[in-house]
Structure 1
Amino acid sequence: MVYGIVSLISLVVLSYDRYSTLTVYHKRGPNYRRPLLTVGGIWLYSLFWTVPPLVGWSSYGLEGAGTSCSVTWTLRTPESHSYIICLFIFCFGLPVLIMVYCYSRLLHAVKQVGKIRRTAARKREYHVLFMVLATVVCFMLCWTPYGVVALMATFGRPGLITPIASVVPSILAKTSTVINPIIYIVMNKQVRHRHFVLLRIMKSYGLTF
């Protein structure tokens, strides 16, 4: 679950980065400390919300067909319910609202400057914006069914979600970590070029499968 939260919070940071880049026009010099602190903060935030079940606030257990581990959604205790509510507020609802706000403001800004001649740098920013939007949409398509099923299992009547019915949303949610690299390779020329270079290097050493 920690990787899913890391992916979501990373998308929130990317949405704010696109928002600040396209709406704040003053140039900034390279600052490598800020990205490192941001990445560290993302992981700390994710760990903050995934460690509590290990110390008694809710718990982890097998889900679906018993092939994967996640929060015990069907545990009907006040501690479990409070944790799940906080988890969905701070690790799904609030991040999604932030992304919606940032991208709505971005789309408004793009509409306002639509009649102005675009420079090459501005076109690249729009391309990055479209790539991040595609990543967010794919993430939502992967995780929303899982979130809905989890809430139904938590607050619905016992047995409402069968193990078989929970398998597909669980698998779909886990594919989100695979979709992001594919989007970057398909839509980003630099990433695609470096990917092919890496494959050629691996092939030269006989590391390809």
Structure 2
Amino acid sequence: MENDTESYFFGAHFAALKSGEIELLGEGLTGEDLAAVPEHWLSYPAPPASAHTALALLYTFFTAAALLGNGLVIFIFSTHSTITRPLDGRLSRGKVLLMMAFVWIYATPWALLPLFKIWGRFVPEGYLTSCTFDYLTNTFDTKLFVACIFTCSYVFPMSMIIYFYSGIVKQVFAHEAALREQAKKMNVESLRANQSSGAESAEIRIAKAALTVCFLFVASWTPYGVMALIGAFGDQQLLTPGVTMIPAVACKAVACIDPWVYAISHPKYRQELQRRMPWLQIDEPDDSASTATTNTAPNAPA
């Protein structure tokens, strides 16, 4: 007969552990702290202390990367506005403030409702080193909250990202096509002073940046959304502490990576980076000029 002490548990460490060696998650917690932990996690072994240390260092790195990356985006925006000052399509201060207010008004309820336990609640997840909205409690309110936040915070933003970036890419392609058509009429190779045969076209670069941002959103938030849906409507036994920490870390990472994508894809930033760090071999052409160049078939003298 098999001894119970020889049974194996799988989950928190992604490896087999003997039951006699296990300290369960939540041990040492009492009162409100213990009540805040979903019962699902209390049956799993606690991770080693090194896992908590590694996650703390990772979260610290994410915070620093996000702060620096968003600073780069602000710098690029201010530099771009100073240099270009576009006359068409420029947003006024009032429009910008309205857009910012809309974003905060739209997002705030999904943070405040679970914070004050009006609808849903925040609970520890995985290794109990981070918190999230409760998607494990088997009640109608929890299931409804998960369905609503999935729709409003994932489906709607995803749809808008795809729609707006598709419009940007389409507009850039149309603009570049118009430039090429005008160049043909003027009997020149290009209307850009620095356009060479081997240079990457503007529409390709914009498309790459747009696709990268869309991919990052999908790759980081889709696993977490699927995990929340499984917790609320599916088989919760699939959600071990170790498994759930992967999408939890991934969705935090995207907030750090997106600003860097915007920064690195901006030609002015790349030119400045090339000037300060030539050893990176960025080779970003100066596209400030927009005059016509090389005649393909010079007109015969009259």
TM-score, structure 1 normalization: 0.68
Give the Cα–Cα distance (whole angstroms) in 1 for the partners of residues 88 and 203 of structure 2.
14
Contact 2:169 2:206 survives alignment (8 Å): no
Paired letter, 1:87: I
Q: Which has the larger radius of gyration?
A: 2
Aligned-pair CA distance for 1:108: 5.1
Uncovered stretches (5+) of structure 2, i.e. residues with no partner: 1-86, 181-190, 193-200, 277-302
Distance (Å, rounded) in 2 between the aligned partners of 1:67 and 1:133: 32
What is the distance in 1 between the residues matched to 2:171 and 2:223? 31
Aligned match of 2:162 in 100, 106, 112? 100
Cα deviation digits, residues 76-110 of structure 1 (max 9, x gap): 11111111111011111122122333344555556
Matches within 5 A, 1:33-182: 33-55=94-116, 56-107=118-169, 115-118=177-180, 127-128=205-206, 130-182=208-260
Q: 1:108 to 1:29 in 2, by over 3 A?
A: closer
Shift, 1:75, TM fit: 1.1
Secondary structure of the structure 2 residue equivalent to 1:164 = helix
Provide the rounded CA distance (Å) in 2 between the counterparts of 1:168 and 1:185: 26
Question: Aligned partner of 2:233: which letter?
Answer: F
Distance 1:54 1:170, change over 3 A: same
Q: In terms of mean alpha carbon deviation, does 46-55 or 181-190 score higher?
A: 181-190
1:67 CA drift (Å): 0.7
Structure 1 position 112, deviation (Å): 5.8
**What is the alpha-carbon distance in structure 1 between the residues aligned to residue 174 and residue 155 of structure 2?**
29
Alpha-carbon shift at residue 158 of structure 1 (Å): 3.3
What is the identity, as a one-letter code, of the residue corresponding to 1:189? P
Aligned residues: 170
- Matched position secondary structure for 2:127: coil
Flag the 1:146–1:28 CA change in 2: closer, same or farther, 3 A. Answer: closer
> Kindly tell me: are residues 32 and 65 of structure 1, through their superposed partners in 2, closer, same or farther at Cα, counting changes over 3 Å?
same
Secondary structure of 2:108's aligned partner: helix
Q: Deviations over 1:39-72 (max 9, x none)?
A: 2221221112221112321111001111100011
Query: For the structure 1 residues 47 and 138, does the alpha-carbon distance in structure 2 shift closer, same or farther, using more than 3 Å as the test?
Result: same
Q: Is the 8 A contact 1:184 1:191 kept in 2?
A: no
Give, as a single letter, the amino acid of the residue that structure 2 aligns with 1:48: P
- Return closer, same or farther for 1:44/1:128 CA change in 2, 3 Å cut-off: farther
1:153 counterpart letter in structure 2: G
CA distance in 2, matches of 1:154, 1:112: 45
Cα displacement (A) at 1:126: 6.9
Q: 1:169 offset after TM fit, Å? A: 0.9
Supply the distance in 1 between the matched residues of 2:168 and 2:179 (Cα, whole angstroms): 17
* Partner secondary structure for residue 132 of structure 2: strand
- 1:5 counterpart residue number: none
Give the secondary-structure state (helix, strand or coil) at the position aligned to 1:73.
Answer: coil
Structure showing the higher helix proportion among its residues? 1
Where in structure 1 are there 5+ consecutive unaligned residues?
A: 1-25, 198-209
Cα distance, 1:59–1:30 mapped onto 2, change above 3 Å? closer
1:172 aligned partner, one-letter code:
A
Instruction: Pick closer, same or farther for the CA change 1:191–1:40 going to 2, 3 Å.
Output: farther
Task: Give the counterpart letter for 1:60 in structure 2.
Answer: F
Match of residue 204 from structure 1: none
Separation (CA, whole Å) in 2 of partners of 1:102 and 1:129? 12
Q: Give, as a single letter, the amino acid of the residue that structure 2 aligns with 1:27.
A: D
SS at match of 2:103: helix
